[in-house]
Amino acid sequence: MQTVSTAPHSIEALCALVLSYDPNASEEKIKEAYAFAKEAHGSQKRASGEPYITHPLATSFTLAEMKLPSPIIIAGLLHDVPEDTDRTLDEIEERFGSDIAAMVAGITKLGKIKYRGMERYIENLRKMFLSMAADVRVVFIKFADRLHNLETLEAVPPKKQYRIALESLEIFAPIANRLGMGEIKGRLEDASFKYIYPKEFEWVKELSKSSREGKQDYLERVMRLTKEILHEAELNNVQVHGRAKHLYSLYRKLVRHDRNIARVYDLIAIRVIVDSVADCYGALGIIHNKWTPLKGRIKDYIAQPKPNGYRSLHTTVFCEDGEIVEFQIRTKDMHAIDEYGIAAHWAYDEDGKISTNPTPKNYQPEWVHELADIHRELADKRTYLKSLEDLKIDIFKDRIFVFTPKGDVIDLPEESTCVDFAYAIHTDIGNTCTAAKVNEENRSLDHVLKNEDMVEIFVDKGRKGPNPGWLKFAKTRQARSKIKQYAKSRISSWISGIIPGTGK
């Protein structure tokens, strides 16, 4: 087997990184956890031939890059100990406390994904979702663990490479996206992309590289000009930097645009990070005063955040020499949430103090609880397997964000229709809907919605229930299950009406 070097980090570098954002962290406790894990794993090797301890150390580095508190870092160092060594959870609890032991237990319950048929695969997914509902910190560790495994996949057989990468692309990355963890999602996708579509990966990598070549000087000139005009307008503490698009994200956008990279305006975006929301809008005005914006390319995700918590102003402008450049304008807090989503709620600020609005340990997005409930309901394997595709549509498909007339945001999977929108608002609205207006135009209930559509649903309160024919175009699990439920009740009523004694 080929040996793969992953340039292992050191425990000293990990401690320095944690202390850079959390000066009150216990360096001694982090080193104690490292020593405990190193001794427990002993002479174990990874498939690459490296000492096993390089894996939990790399896992914890990713967690530290997310500026997570030291207990999560320590749990990352210990995450494989109970499953892969003779050391127990009880020993971990005695040495490091119940909270760290609980996180390690959560990872241990998830277990390692073993490809022994679809049922085992589904069971692992079910465990992951239930773990998320119990304590989402466990999933942060699982993401970091999976990311390092992906980055060292060269050392495992090709079939296993493909299976791990495919699961990461279809399951792990979409969950990261739903948790608002944009940077982790991008890294998971890019690391998987290489093994799932190797030819496309090489094509996009070369295309991205060639498209950026010669533009670095231009980009730096625009960033310098941006700093100057913002400084002249007395906007202080402004950070301006470039962001290259992740390769898999670029690939998907190229596919949508007939593989024409000239139609991809955010290949390189400029991020402007300011102190306050007022400064965001101020910076937008200053940039528009300097350069002409493209019509229809201004997105206000501050006034209308995405359901996963993403907030930012986006604008695309005709910049110097007529080049088209995208700007993303946000505060420091918004930037942290864009990078690390729900994990940012555990992050520390630059003064080493925990975030002023830390998310409670037991807080999860509503969809996590809904998904966990669904998985409990579908504990029966046969029913579970039949429902897997519905779940993948609801949870893992690309999302669109559609507005009610009052400005509320409804989060739906791509290709959802007006009927799906109606059921997302309320079951009664779905059951009695008759027509819709989309962006002030009359539309039928099977009309496919697009991102940022404004939808108004019309109902007939005298209507008894949905039309079973809606199943031909309803996409979401919620809509389909309610329509099927009503259809079954009608059949039962019909049978009880003609066959005496069958009614209740």
- The set of catalytic residues is 83-84
With b meaning 16 or more CB within 10 Å and e meaning fewer, what string describes 310-332? bbbbbbbbebeeeebbbbbbbbe
Q: Which two tokens stand for residue 334?
A: 């918004």
HSE value, Cβ hemisphere, 13 Å, CA-based, for 349? 10
HSE value, Cβ hemisphere, 13 Å, CA-based, for 218? 14
Helix (H/G/I), strand (E/B), else coil: 323: coil
The distance from CA 357 to its chain's CA centroid, rounded to whole angstroms, is: 21
Q: Name the one residue in this structure whose structure tokens are 């320095």.
A: 16
Q: The dihedral of CA 322, 324, 325, 326: what is its sign?
A: positive
CB atoms within 10 A of CB 91: 15
Gyration radius (Cα) of the chain, Å: 25
The DSSP secondary-structure symbol of 476 reads S
Whose CA is closest to 320, among 219, 230, 245? 219
β-partners of residue 327 are 270, 315
Question: How, if at all, do strands 299-300 and 313-318 pair?
Answer: antiparallel
HSE value, Cβ hemisphere, 13 Å, CA-based, for 289? 12
| Neighbouring residues of 151: CB distance < 8 A, sequence distance ≥ 6 | 6, 58, 191
The DSSP secondary-structure symbol of 226 reads H
CB atoms within 10 A of CB 153: 22
What is the Cα–Cα distance from 375 to 134, expressed in whole angstroms? Answer: 13
Which helix (H) or strand (E) covers residue 83, if one does? helix 81-84
Q: Name the one residue in this structure whose structure tokens are 């202080």.
A: 236
Question: What would you measure as the largest C-alpha separation in the chain, in angstroms?
Answer: 85
What is the Cα–Cα distance from 56 to 62, expressed in whole angstroms? Answer: 10
